């Protein structure tokens, strides 16, 4: 992009983030002094608008020249499939299932992918960095050639319920056992603690997670934004992982890679201020959640009679969840699927933006 517009662009971002920050502050303030649903809702909307704007700006600022080696949000060629249903595998599965049962097929779709290094400062970081506020379900572990420690594979617990295809791999560092490299793939569309679809019947086990105070729900939205940014160039600094015993401290660094897996260190964040602004509001910017694709996903997912075999969490849930996005106002967080449908590549009719 040329320099003139770059300047404008930055200024715009500055302004927007200012606005957003102030709104956030106001919100926090209001929340603590005179909690009021109405205020909160209003502020949420304001903030959402800012988020929207910021996202749009970020988006347009980044698509033009694909500058940062951003983990691509969608596969370049497959513009329709904003992903989230990255693997038609499961559909295929139901088709091939018949005799083989094995289903993985096709090329792996492009997911936003980034790596986080988490250091566990403690006597024995044996458990590893477990809690990043999403519900992960381990689905595999593998000894990796030349690596001392096995690599663990996790996927989102709500994969089937919410069609959330985020996965992560955790690999302990060979020479520094306190260091874990966590590779996130795909973006969370479940946003399990707040958004659109309420969590499946049994609330998170892994994360009995403190009920999120009303005031903090915004965090989720903010987080969303942050994470979106993270998709462009992941960032974070300190994080405070809730269920960590006090003597644990995490420190993480992020990098993301582009499709060629070129590392893109995150040091060079052009808009530090923005990040600073947000990070002051978050406790755990490390989470990988993001809704920005969920809507697209929702409307794209097609459970087309492909019964997912076992319990997992239930097709009934799927159905009702699905229904809830179109019919019942659950938590007032439903969002406009139809609009999403118009342009799945433009993920900004994000949930939490309260379209009703």
Partner DNA sequence: CAAATTTGACCCGT
Partner DNA sequence: ACGGGTCAAATTTG
Residues that bind DNA (CB under 7 A): 87, 89-90, 93, 97, 100-108, 135-146, 151-153, 155, 157, 167, 169, 185, 200-202, 205-206, 309-311, 313-314
* Residue 3 or 98 with smaller CB distance to DNA: 98
Smallest gap from Cβ 323 to DNA, in A, equals 19
Nearer to DNA, 214 or 309 (CB): 309
Tokens 């934004």, located at residue: 225
**Sheet of 167-172: strands edge to edge?**
136-142, 151-156, 167-172, 179-185, 113-121, 249-257, 263-265
Tokens of 330: 């659950």
CB of 309 vs DNA, minimal distance in Å: 7
For the bound state, the minimum distance from the C-beta of residue 204 to DNA, rounded and expressed in Å, comes to: 7
Q: Record the tokens describing residue 198, joined without a space.
A: 């309420």
Shortest distance, position 2 Cβ to DNA, whole Å: 36
Nearer to DNA, 2 or 310 (CB): 310
Shortest CB 93 distance to DNA, Å? 6
By the 10 Å C-beta count (0-12 exposed, 13-18 middle, 19+ buried), 181 is classed as middle
Of 26 and 306, CB closest to DNA = 306
Q: Would you say 150 and 174 are in contact if contact means Cβ atoms under 8 Å apart?
A: no
Q: Cβ 159 to DNA, closest distance in Å? A: 8
Q: Could you tell me which of 134, 114, 82, 165 has the C-alpha nearest to residue 289?
A: 134
Question: Using an 8 Å Cβ cutoff, are 164 and 85 in contact?
Answer: no
Between 200 and 347, whose beta carbon lies closer to DNA?
Answer: 200
Shortest CB 190 distance to DNA, Å: 12
Q: Is the dihedral of CA 45, 49, 55, 59 positive or negative?
A: positive
CB of 215 to DNA, least distance (A): 27
Of 126 and 323, CB closest to DNA: 126
Phi-psi region of 74 (alpha: psi -120 to 50; beta: other; left: phi over 0): beta
**Closer residue to DNA in complex, CB, 168/233:** 168
Q: Which one, 136 or 335, has the nearer CB to DNA?
A: 136
């Amino acid at each position: 992009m040329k320099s003139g517009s770059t300047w404008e662009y930055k200024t715009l971002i500055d302004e927007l983030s200012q606005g957003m920050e102030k709104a956030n502050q106001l919100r926090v303030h209001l929340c603590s002094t005179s909690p009021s649903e109405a205020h909160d809702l209003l502020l949420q909307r304001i903030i959402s608008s800012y988020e929207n704007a910021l996202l749009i700006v970020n988006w347009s600022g980044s698509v033009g020249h694909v500058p940062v080696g951003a983990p691509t949000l969608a596969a370049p060629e497959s513009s329709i499939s904003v992903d989230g249903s990255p693997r038609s595998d499961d559909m295929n599965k139901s088709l091939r299932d018949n005799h083989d049962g094995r289903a993985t097929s096709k090329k792996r779709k492009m997911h936003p992918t980034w790596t986080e290094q988490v250091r566990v400062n403690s006597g024995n970081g044996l458990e590893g960095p477990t809690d990043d506020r999403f519900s992960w379900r381990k689905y595999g572990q593998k000894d990796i050639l030349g690596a001392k420690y096995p690599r663990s594979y996790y996927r989102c617990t709500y994969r089937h319920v919410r069609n959330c295809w985020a996965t992560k791999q955790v690999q302990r560092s060979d020479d520094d056992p306190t260091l874990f490299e966590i590779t996130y793939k795909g973006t969370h569309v479940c946003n399990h603690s707040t958004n659109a679809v309420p969590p499946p019947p049994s609330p998170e086990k892994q994360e009995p997670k403190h009920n999120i105070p009303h005031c903090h729900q915004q965090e989720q939205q903010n987080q969303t934004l942050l994470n979106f940014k993270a998709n462009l160039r992941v960032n974070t600094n300190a994080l405070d992982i809730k269920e960590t015993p006090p003597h644990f401290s995490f420190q993480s660094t992020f990098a993301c890679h582009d499709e060629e897996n070129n590392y893109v260190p995150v040091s060079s964040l052009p808009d530090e201020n923005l990040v600073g602004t947000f990070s002051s509001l978050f406790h755990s910017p490390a989470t990988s959640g993001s809704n920005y694709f969920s809507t697209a996903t929702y409307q794209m997912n097609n459970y087309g009679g492909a019964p997912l075999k076992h319990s997992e969490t239930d097709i009934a849930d799927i159905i009702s969840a699905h229904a809830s996005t179109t019919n019942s106002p659950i938590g007032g967080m439903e969002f406009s699927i139809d609009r999403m449908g118009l342009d799945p590549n433009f993920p900004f009719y994000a949930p939490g933006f309260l379209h009703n």
